[in-house]
Amino acid sequence: MMTGNRPPQSGCVQTFKASLAVLLLLSTTGCKEDTNKTVRGKDASSARFLEKSAEAGITFQHTDGSTGEYYIVETLASGVGLIDFNNDGHLDIYFLNGCPLPPPEDLASCPPNALYRNRGDGTFEDVTRQKGLEARGFSIGCGAGDYDSDGDLDIYVAGFGRNYLYRNNGAKEGFSFTEVTSEAGVDDTRFSAGACFLDYDRDGHLDLYVSNYCEVDFASSKPCFNNNTPGYCAPGQYTPVHDSLFRNNGDGTFEDVSKRSGIARDPEPGPKWGMGIAVCDFNNDGWPDIYLANDVSDNFLFENQKDGTFKNIATEAMAAVGLDGAEQGSMGVDAGDFDGDGSFDLVVTNYHKQLNALYRNEGKFGFSDQALSRGLGDSTLPMVSWGTRLLDYDNDGQLDLFIANGHLEDQIDRYDQSSEYRQRNQLYRGENKRFTEITKGGGSGLREKLSSRGAAFGDIDNDGDIDIVICNSRERPSLLINETSNKNTWLSLKLKGKKDPYALGARASVTAAGRTQVAEVRSGGSYVCQNDLRLHFGLAGSKKAEKVIIRWPGGNSSTFENLETNREHLLKE
C-alpha cells in the first residue's frame, strides 16, 4: 500500500528542470509556424487588481468540512458562479459551500451556499434564503443555462452526496428558484465535481454534462502518511466513476445518455477522476466538443460525431498528457485563441511539480503543448493550480492568463519545502503570443497567499474590463476588481438566440483595425465555475469594430458592422 500522499508522477523538481531544455525543443518542433507577429495596444499599462470583498458587503465563509480525518472530498473545495439571475444587467455571485463529513442525515445542519445580488453600486446583498438557493450539502461545482428556454438562467449544482437542479421562476415570481432535480431526472448521487449546459445534438434544447470523481467509503477511509505526517491519500487509491451526459427531452425532463453517447463506455474511454470541463468547437465544424481535465489520469477530448455520440481522441490529438508523456493531476481548463489564428487553444492546470499545459490548436484536431516555449515554465512548478482563464485584462487585444493556486495538503511544508499550503495566485501578461508573469506588479489583490480553488471571470462592475471572484478553501472569498487604467477600448457582446435565449455555443468573430478575434458563449469552465456569459473583447485603440460575425448554435450566421466600442451590444438572432 502506498504511504504518504500523491505519487511523484513527474519526478522531483530537480529532475524536471534538468529536462527543460529537451522539452523546450520538443514543444517547438513539429508545429505550424507563427507567421503573423502581433504588437501590444497603444497603452500597455500595468495590471491593478484590488481585493474588495469586505467593501462590497460579502461575508460568505467557505468550509471544506475538514475534521482532521483527511477525507478526499475535502480537497476539491468549491467553485463559484457569476450569474445574472434576475436579468438586470449586473453579475450576481453564487458561492458554493462544503459540509462536515461524513454528511449528516439532515443536511439542514450544513452551511448553505450563498447567492449575492449585485446592487450595481459596488455592493452586494445576500438573497440566498429569499431566492431558495441554499443547496445544503457538499457543493463543489456549478453551471448555468436556460434549460427550459423561458428567458432566465437556471443553475445546476454538482457535489458530493447529491446534486441540485434549480429552475429559475422568472420575473413573475421575483426570480426565485425551485429545486426540480428529481422530477427533471438529473438526480445523480455520485461524487460529482463540475457541470455545464450545452446543446450537443443541436436540437435547440440545452443538455447537461456532469463530471464525476470517485467512489468514497467513509467507513474504510484513513489518512495516508508522509514522514509521519497525516494527509490525503492519492486519488489513484479510490475507484473512479464515469461522467454523466443528460439529454434534454424538451419537456422539462432529461434522459441519461451517458453510455449511448460514448461518454461512459468501457473499456474506452473508461472512468476517470473528472474535474474541469471546457465545451468548445475545437475543429470549427459548428458542433460542440468537450474537453475534460481528469485528475491523476489522461484527459479526455470528446469529438462530437454529429449523430448523438462522442469519440475520445485526446491521445491522437496530443492533448491527453503532459510534455513528458506522463499523466497529470489536472484540475481546471479554459479554451481561448491565445495566438490569434482563429482556432481555440487550451490551457490546463495541474498539480504540484507538474507544468500547466498550454495546448496550441494546430488544426484538424491536432495539439502541441507549448507551455515551455510560450513562457509557462518554472513559475508553475511549485503550485497546485485550479481555476484559470485566458482573458484580456488590459484590453490590448491580446489574451493574458490568470491561474488560481493553493495546495490541498495543509501540512505540506512539514515534509516538502518546495511548496506551501497557501500560495499566490498568478497573472501572466500576453505579448506576441508569449506569456510573462507579472503577479508582483498586479495590484494588492494578488499579494495575499491563500489556498484558492475555483475562479470565475466577468465584468462585475460593468466598467469594461474583466474582474475575478475566487473561492478560497476554508476562508472568505476574494473579489478582485480590475482597476487597470489605460485608454484601450473594448467591446462587450450579449447574444440572444431564437431557441436558446443565451445562445450557448454561439461563436463571435470580431474584426477591428484589421485584426480578428474569436470567442464562444459557454456554460461552466475554469475549475468547476460559471463565468460571465457575455463575450468581452479588448480592442486596443480601435474606435469601432468594423465587422462582427455571429455563428449561432443552430449553424446560421448574422453579420453586424461598425459597432461602437466601449459599450455592451445586444445582438439577436
Task: Tell me the per-residue pLDDT of 39-69, one tens digit each, with 9 for 90 and over.
Answer: 343 344 589 999 999 999 999 999 999 989 9
In angstroms, the Cα distances linking 551 to 365, 384, 548 are 20, 37, 10
Closest by CA position to 208, among listed 191, 178, 188: 188
464 to 93, 248, 525: CA distances (angstroms) = 18, 35, 21
Strands 289-295 and 300-304: antiparallel
In angstroms, how far is the first alpha carbon of the chain from the final one? 58
Give the H or E element holding residue 24.
helix 20-27
Element (DSSP H or E) covering residue 515: strand 515-520
Q: Which tens digit of pLDDT belongs to each residue from 152-185?
A: 999 999 999 899 999 999 999 999 999 999 999 9
Q: Which residue has the cell 485584426?
A: 515
* Rounded percentage of the chain residues whose pLDDT exceeds 70: 92
Short-list 49, 78, 75, 193, CA closest to 470: 78
d(CA 148, CA 250): 7
Angstrom distance (rounded) from CA 18 to CA 10: 12
pLDDT tens per residue across span 435-491: 999 999 999 999 999 999 999 999 999 999 999 999 999 999 999 999 999 999 999
Q: Count Cβ neighbours within 10 Å for each residue of 38-70 and write b for 16 or more, e otherwise.
A: eebbebeeebbbebbbeebebebebbbbbeeeb
More confident call, 71 vs 1: 71
Identify any residues that bridge with 391 across adjacent strands, giving them in sequence order. 400
Closest CA to 236 of 193, 298, 291, 322: 298
**Could you tell me if 168 and 145 are in contact, meaning their C-beta atoms sit under 8 angstroms apart?**
no
pLDDT over threshold 90, residue 500: yes
* Cα gap 98→400, rounded to integer Å: 31
By residue count, the chain amounts to: 573
Cis peptide before 102, with omega less than 30 degrees from 0?
yes
The pLDDT of residue 6: 52
Domain boundaries, the chain: 13-572
pLDDT for the residue 433: 95
The pLDDT, as a whole number, for residue 13 is: 36
Kindly state the average pLDDT of the residues 233-240.
96
**Per-residue pLDDT at 377:** 86
Cβ–Cβ under 8 Å, residues 27 and 369:
yes
CA-CA distance, 158 to 295, in Å (whole number)? 17
Instruction: Please indicate whether residue 209 or residue 107 has the higher confidence score (pLDDT).
Output: 209
- Mean of pLDDT over the chain: 92
Instruction: Report pLDDT for 18.
Output: 36
Residue 105 has what pLDDT?
Answer: 87
Cβ neighbours of residue 361 closer than 8 Å, sequence gap 6 or more: 282, 341, 343, 344, 345, 346, 367
- The confidence score (pLDDT) of residue 120 equals 98
Range scoring the smallest mean pLDDT among 26-40, 119-133, 182-196, 252-266: 26-40
Q: How confident is the model at residue 230 (pLDDT cuts 50, 70, 90)?
A: very high
CATH placement of domain 13-572: 2.130.10.10
- The pLDDT assigned to 404 comes to 99
CA distance 31 to 313: 19
* pLDDT for res 5: 52
Q: What is the pLDDT of residues 302-322, one digit of tens each?
A: 999 999 999 999 999 999 999
Q: Are 159 and 498 in contact (CB under 8 A)?
A: no
Q: What percent of the chain has pLDDT over 90?
A: 87
Q: If pLDDT is split at 50, 70 and 90, which confidence band does 35 have?
A: very low
Q: Per-residue pLDDT for 19 more than 80?
A: no
Query: pLDDT tens across 421-437, in order?
Result: 999 999 999 999 999 99
pLDDT at 2 over 90: no
pLDDT value at position 188? 87
Q: In this predicted structure, what is the pLDDT of residue 378? A: 86
Q: Give 518-532 pLDDT, tens digit per residue.
A: 999 999 999 999 999
Question: What is the average pLDDT across 324-343?
Answer: 97
Which 3 state secondary structure label does DSSP give 333?
A: strand
